[in-house]
């Protein structure tokens, strides 16, 4: 049960990131979340929307795995590994904050699945 909750939290994080990147990027909320200037946000909104869509795919994969129940464990692991890799890459290339917001929750969910 705890593992399921952690996986759902990781999915919710990525749905929230989807909303921030696809719909709020060029707003005060989006600019504040990512510390962007208005000009940069306006110029990169299409790139951010694409990035947000990918975050949505990660969330969809995790939710699909949860929906499959026990048969979905390998699906969940695949998507958690994707989240973990993306989180580490983002932490190295963009912001260390990504390590805590994305990678560590994914790792926690993976560990919880292993010890259930």
Give domain limits for the chain: 2-115
- What pLDDT digit, counting tens, does each position of 1-27 carry? 999 999 999 999 999 999 999 999 999
Tens-place pLDDT, residues 63-108: 999 999 999 999 999 999 999 999 999 999 999 999 999 999 999 9
Report the C-alpha gap between 48 and 96 in whole angstroms.
19
pLDDT of residue 96: 93
Measured between alpha carbons, how far is residue 48 from residues 16, 19, 28, 41, 72 in Å?
Answer: 13, 10, 15, 9, 30
Contact 7, 66 (CB under 8 A): yes
């Amino acid at each position: 049960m705890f593992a399921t909750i952690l996986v759902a939290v990781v999915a919710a994080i990525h749905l929230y990131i989807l909303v921030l990147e696809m719909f709020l990027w060029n707003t005060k909320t989006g600019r504040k979340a990512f510390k962007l200037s208005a000009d940069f946000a306006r110029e990169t909104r299409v790139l951010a929307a694409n990035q947000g869509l990918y975050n949505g795919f990660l969330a969809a994969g995790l939710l699909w795995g949860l929906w499959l129940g026990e048969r979905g464990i390998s699906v969940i692991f695949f998507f958690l590994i994707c989240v973990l890799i993306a989180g580490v890459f983002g932490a190295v290339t963009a912001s260390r904050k990504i390590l805590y917001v994305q990678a560590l929750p994914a790792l926690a969910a993976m560990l919880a699945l292993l010890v259930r």
